[in-house]
Structure formats: C-alpha cells, structure tokens
Chains A and B, each alone.
Chain A
C-alpha cells in the first residue's frame, strides 16, 4: 500500500521538477524535455481512449439494460459510431465529411449559446425582483447597462473627442478585475503545483 501511494507522488514530483529545470535551463534540457513530453502525450492519449471506451460501454449497458433515459444513450452511441466510421472510411481531411460534421455541430453549438444568452437574460430580468434593491443589484444593473451601451458602438460613431476619451477610460475599467483574476489564477496554480510536488495533493486520486 505504501508503494501504491508513494510511487505516483514520486513520479509526479520528479516530472514537475524536471519540467521546472528545463524551463529555467532552457536549451541544455530541451531535447530531453521533448522526449518527456512525447511520453506524457502518449500516456494522456491512451487514457483518453480508455475514457472513451468506458463511456461507450456505460451507455451500451444502459441501452441493453433498458434503463431510464436509454434513448439518449442510443443517440450518443449512434453519433459516435457515425463520426468514427465516417472518419475511418472517408478520412479526416475529406471536405464532404468536414462539411457534414460542421452542418451538425454549428447549429447545435449556436443553439447552446443562444440558450445561455436567454438564461442570462431571464436572470437579469429577475435579479431585481428576487434580490430587491441593494448595492450589489444596483451596481450590477448600472455596469451592465453602461458596458452594453458601449459595446453597441453607437456612441463611438458620434466621434466626440471628450466622449471618446470617457469611453476609452470606461473600457479600461475591467482591466482591474482582469488583473486580479489573473493574479488569483497564477497564485492558485503555483500553490497547486507546489502541493503536487510535495505530495500534499493527489489529483490522480487514491
């Protein structure tokens, strides 16, 4: 059991330290880094294949067992087989095959984004009624209105120097939040990496 717990930690720590060393030292370790990356990509691809197999088997069991919602499982398996067999037969560079896939995927993703926009719109409609008047809701409403109007581009079309300067100033305001967000992401990634290197975090599970 100790080996089972220790070996993954050692492998992860060694890989992380090697990548760090390669980044700091640069060219001397660049060749070795390419080899290690090959290993990692091959391993990740094999894991992806296993995940796909597990997904298909799970939905296959749902269909064979007649479980609730098996119709969706049937659709998933059919779509997977059609894409897989089409790419095997026609090739992934075939123009007809690419247009066929794009014709399915483009409306689906557009509908999904449209749905997300509708949900956000409904939330914007309800936020004042549900949350009442508060500093949060009022500031949300004002900022949303201001930046939506700016994004329209109609005010910029007026070409008034003072207004343009104000708009440019307002457009840089999100920079503050973006910087904070990026600093938070960087610190979180750094701490997470340290925890993995030190064996305190095991993202691969026990």
Chain B
C-alpha cells in the first residue's frame, strides 16, 4: 500500500497517488503527474519551430491511420500528456515516422500493446471532468436564470405595489417629489392651518424638519430601512432607484455635486409658500446644470393641489396609512374610556307613552281576572280524552279485586300538586275495587310524598319501598326472579306478577328508565303512566310503539279520567291556578309583541321628518 503512495517534493511526506495537493504542506503535486516515458518535457519546450497547431495536425494524421478505438486512446494520452506537462506546447512536426519523436513513438507503441493503458485513468478522469463541467455549467445557467427571474419578479411586484401616480416617475405631478405629495395628502389640515409665509426662513426650516419626520415615518411604515439621509437625498434615491439596482458603483463626485445643487434649487419650489408666491428665481449658475440633468421643470414653481379632491385620488398605500392612523386614534380613545361608566342612555320619552303602557297593562290584567272569575271551568263530561288516556282507562277498568298494582312514585315535590290531582281519584277508585296496591319509589322524596298522596286520595297508609340504584335498580327489579334480590325492597315481587305498574312521573328520564330497562322483561300492557302535562308529547311515541298500556298527562286528562272511573276529581284549586299561570304567560307574550311594535313605531317616527 505504501508503495502506491507518492512523496511530496516539498515536505517529503507521503500522499495518495490521486492527491493533487499535499495533505501536509498544501503544495501542488501536479508536477508529480508524469506520463511514463516522458522524462524531460523541457527538452520538448526547447525545440524551436514546433507549434501547437503542428502538433495537433500531426496527431490527427497519425490517428486517421488507426482504428477508432486506438485513436481515441491516443488522443486521450496526448491530452493527458499535455495536461500533465503543464506548459508543454511544442511538438515535433508530424507527417513522417522518421520525424516522430522517440517519446511519441513509445507512447503509441504502448498504447497499441495496452489498449487502454494510457486512457484508463484519464478516460475516467476526463469523463468525470466533462460530466462535472457540464453539471457545473448547467447549475450556473440555472442559477443565472433564477437570478434573472427573481429580479424580474421583484420589479413586477414593485410595479404592482407602487401607486399609479408614483408609477409614472418619482417626480411626476409637475415635479413634486413623491414623498412630498404623500406628506401633503396625509396632513392636509396641517398645511391649511399654516399661515402664509411672512417669515420664510424659519417656516421653511420647520417645514423641512416636518417633511423629514414625515418622510421617515412614510419610509418606516413602508418597511424601508431607516437611513440618516435628508428628504432631498431620498428624492434622488427614489428617482435613481432602478439604476442603483443594476449598478452599485458609487456615483462620480461631480455628478453628485450637480445633484445636490439641483436639489437645493428644487427645495424652495416645493414649499407651500412658494406655490402661492411667484416662481423662485433660479441661480444663473445652476440653470445649465439643471437643464443638463433634466431637472429644470422641477425647479419651476408649480401649482399643486393642497388636498386631494376625493379619497379615490389617493394612493392605496396612503389610504391605508390614513386608515391606520384613524384606527390608532380610535384604539387610543377606547383605551382612554376604559374603566369609565357608560353614559346614561339618552332616550327621548314621548309624552303620554307611559300612560299608554299603564293602561295596556291594566287592561290585560283585567282580562286575566275576568277569565278566571267569569269563564266557567271546563266540565269533564264535556271533554273527550285522547286515545292514550282512554287506553289507560280501559287498562284500569280491567283490574279486578285481588289484582296487584305497583304504584311507582317518581316526581318531585314541586310537581306534587299536579300529580296528586291526577292520581288521587285513580288510587281511590282502585282502593274501592279492592285492588291490592304496593308503593315503590326510586327518589328519596317519594318516601314523604307518598304519605301526602295517600292522605289526599283518602286511602289507608301503605308502606313505601325505596328502590336504590336508579337505572340499575329498575333493571334489578325487573330481573328479580324469585323476589330475593338484595337490591329490591322486601315485599316487592317479580314485576311480571303485577297486573299493572302505574308510574307517577314528572320526568322524561325516569319514564325512559322504566320503559327501556324493565320494559323488555315485561308484557306489552303492563306499564301505565300518569304524568305531568309537559311529558305528553314525549310519551306519545312509546304509546304508539305499544310499549305503554296508556297514559294520562295533565290535570285536564286526569279529571276526565277520574270522571270515567266514576270518581269526582279533587277540588279544582290547582287546575284554576294552572289556568292562571297559562293566562299570565299568554299575557306576557302579547305584551312582548306589543312592546316590540311600539318600539318599531317609535324608531320610525324620528325618521319621518328627515324624509
């Protein structure tokens, strides 16, 4: 392995044969690349009268006599020799074998013997170099193309973002610089409020200072870098921006001086005072310079518009800036108002409207009282119960003496008045018929509500069992095969053994618990429901599906049911109170409608004089 290494002629360290530089001292190792048999290239250089063209011609003639493959190897070998030889440019004249140098003859001979001896390495190297060069050239071309595309894209974006007036030139509008027009459009009031120039010198200084600030603000808002330059310089910079983008060379000093002179001549013409006064006298020395630079028009006094005629004439960026300022002002006002109380609402009271409202309210209350006092209560005999209540009446009518009925109390204390009015006649009728009743509750409230219910129904007190566990307890009661489940209260039999399970409900969830948990284990006509009126709609689908024997919801249906069971319903105080509550709700909704109509008419009234 060490035999393949080459020694650096400078430091004497070993390097890899393919290294072109010494890894220790960094010196070139190119001179070590020698073609075998070429010991002295300097001798070739010293030969006079041999030019490169002659050498190439000789090689071509020699190659044309050989086959193509060998010829290629020869050319590679010559190229390699030329490359490794460095400055070797001289060749012996070709054409005759006698004149062929000895080293060339040896090369050709060796090339014939070893087909690719000379070109094996060089061919790989040259092909790699070719590929690299092509690849490199391609990358360069691609980079260049993308660079040009970026430049064009940036230019296009700048053109799109630049407002139209500015797109013409940086000094359109009669030579007024772009930054000055922006400042004037942003602060028209300030310019209007400024007095006319009686003392031009200080005002000019103030204006120039303000322009500097405004221009810096414009630059800052447009995202330009903050440069410590004067507005006039900005004018020049904006005017010469395209040129600067292409060539970054510093400007020649004389030109710069001309520009500064032109700017100085231009500045007085841009001031508001100058717009109203006569044109500023041009310095005779500067005139030719300005004309030469094409800025003569800029130095002339031009009538400028102090304010844009409309916001449509403003550039889009200027409108944006003005809107930003307004929004910032609004935000500051809001922050300033933070923590302060709301101002009192300034509502104009129309005289007489208070009396109108009072009379309307009194009228509604009188109607309500009249309904309660004079309108007769609906008689149960005149009302026909809906089908579910009729079905429940039939189920109750089928009960005979000795049949077992499980009464389940699942209502809250607040609904006890309504439920007791519905249930008490039914319980009394069952007691009269000799039906055996058992009481069960899944709510702790049911323990004391059952006592009140029995007293209302005027039936003997029964023990009320408490079924714990909610849904699980209901399912356990339904599954209680022998009546020995620990969850089910003592005395409660298998649910299937009862002729009817009468649920007293005010909650849809409790009704669903019984229908869904116990229902699958029971016959279809085992469950009847006495419920509060709001549950009627949700019970109907279960009845239509055959999962209920029937139900009666609300006091009206309860009274009809009691009538059907030959029982008189309870004294009707709860039902009249229920009617009173309903009437109040109706009156309130009507009041809401009238109030809205009144508000609409009141809002329409102030607009009529304007129209």
Interface residues of A (CB under 8 A from B): 23, 30-31, 33-34, 37-38, 40-41, 44-45, 92-93, 95, 98-99, 101-102, 105-106, 108-110, 112-113, 117, 120-121, 124-129, 132-133, 141, 144-145, 148-149, 151-154, 156-157, 159, 164, 168, 171-172, 174-175, 177-179, 181-182, 185
Contact = CB atoms under 8 A, between A and B. Distances in A.
Given A34-B480, A93-B447, A125-B595, 19 more contacts: A30-B479, A38-B476, A38-B487, A44-B469, A98-B447, A99-B448, A102-B451, A121-B584, A124-B588, A148-B586, A151-B554, A153-B556, A154-B378, A156-B383, A156-B556, A168-B386, A171-B386, A175-B544, A179-B541
Nearest to A99: B448
B452 interface: yes
Contacts of B415: 113
Given A41-B472, A98-B451, A99-B451, A127 B592 contact: yes
A48 B126 CA distance: 88
Interface in B366-383: 371, 375-379, 382-383
B230 to A, nearest CB: 60
Nearest to B450: A98
B596 interface: yes
B395 interface: no
Contacts of B599: 129
A152 B371 CA distance: 11
10 contacts: A34-B476, A37-B475, A38-B487, A99-B451, A113-B415, A152-B579, A159-B383, A172-B540, A174-B536, A179-B541
A34 B469 CA distance: 13
Nearest to A23: B520
Nearest to B448: A98
B165 interface: no
Contacts of A141: 589, 592-593
A144 B592 CA distance: 13
A95 B451 contact: yes
Given A37-B479, A124-B588, A153-B556, A175 B537 contact: yes
B479 A126 contact: no
Nearest to B560: A156
A177 B536 CA distance: 12
Contact of B413 (A106, A126, A175): A106
Contacts of A110: 413-414
Contacts of A109: 412-414
B596 A157 contact: no
B479 A34 contact: yes
Contact of A41 (B383, B448, B487, B579): B487
Interface in B481-505: 481, 485-487
A178 B541 CA distance: 7
A38 B378 CA distance: 50
Contacts of B267: none
Contact of B596 (A105, A113, A133, A175): A133
A156 B376 CA distance: 12
Interface in B573-611: 579, 581-586, 588-593, 595-596, 599
Interface in B529-582: 533, 536-538, 540-541, 544, 554, 556, 579, 581-582
A81 B386 CA distance: 48
Contacts of A101: 448
Nearest to A125: B592
Interface string B370-411: 010001111100111010000000000000000000000000
A187 to B, nearest CB: 14
Nearest to B382: A159
Contact of B537 (A126, A127, A153, A174): A174
B440 to A, nearest CB: 14
Interface of B: 371, 375-379, 382-384, 386, 412-416, 445, 447-449, 451-452, 463, 466, 468-469, 472-473, 475-476, 479-481, 485-487, 512, 520, 533, 536-538, 540-541, 544, 554, 556, 579, 581-586, 588-593, 595-596, 599
B76 to A, nearest CB: 68
Contacts of B584: 121
Contact of B592 (A112, A128, A178): A128
B481 A30 contact: yes
A151 B415 CA distance: 17
Contacts of B416: 106
Given A38-B487, A98-B447, A110-B414, A125 B591 contact: yes
Contacts of B581: 117
Contact of B383 (A23, A45, A153): A153
A124 to B, nearest CB: 5
B375 A102 contact: no
Contact of A157 (B379, B487, B512, B538): B379
A129 to B, nearest CB: 5
B591 to A, nearest CB: 6
Nearest to B464: A93
A126 B383 contact: no
Nearest to B537: A174
Contacts of A164: 384
A140 to B, nearest CB: 9
Contact of B414 (A95, A113, A172): A113
Nearest to B475: A37
A172 B588 CA distance: 25
A61 B129 CA distance: 85
Nearest to B451: A98
B472 A37 contact: yes
Contacts of A38: 476, 485-487
A126 B541 contact: no
B378 A129 contact: no
Given A30-B479, A109-B412, A144-B589, A156 B378 contact: yes
B93 to A, nearest CB: 90
B568 to A, nearest CB: 17
A128 B480 CA distance: 54
B87 to A, nearest CB: 77
Given A31-B481, A133-B596, A157 B382 contact: yes
A155 B378 CA distance: 9
Contacts of A44: 469, 472
A178 B537 contact: yes
A40 B520 CA distance: 20
A152 B512 CA distance: 28
A34 B485 contact: yes
A80 to B, nearest CB: 13
A18 B483 CA distance: 22
Contacts of B556: 151, 153, 156
A193 to B, nearest CB: 12
A101 B449 CA distance: 10
A133 B382 CA distance: 39
B376 A157 contact: yes
A128 B595 contact: yes
B376 A41 contact: no
A156 B555 CA distance: 13
A174 B84 CA distance: 103
Nearest to B469: A41
Contacts of A185: 512
A45 B583 CA distance: 45
Given A37-B487, A178-B541, A112 B449 contact: no
Q: Which 4 A-B pairs have the closest CB atoms?
A: A157-B378, A98-B448, A174-B537, A109-B414
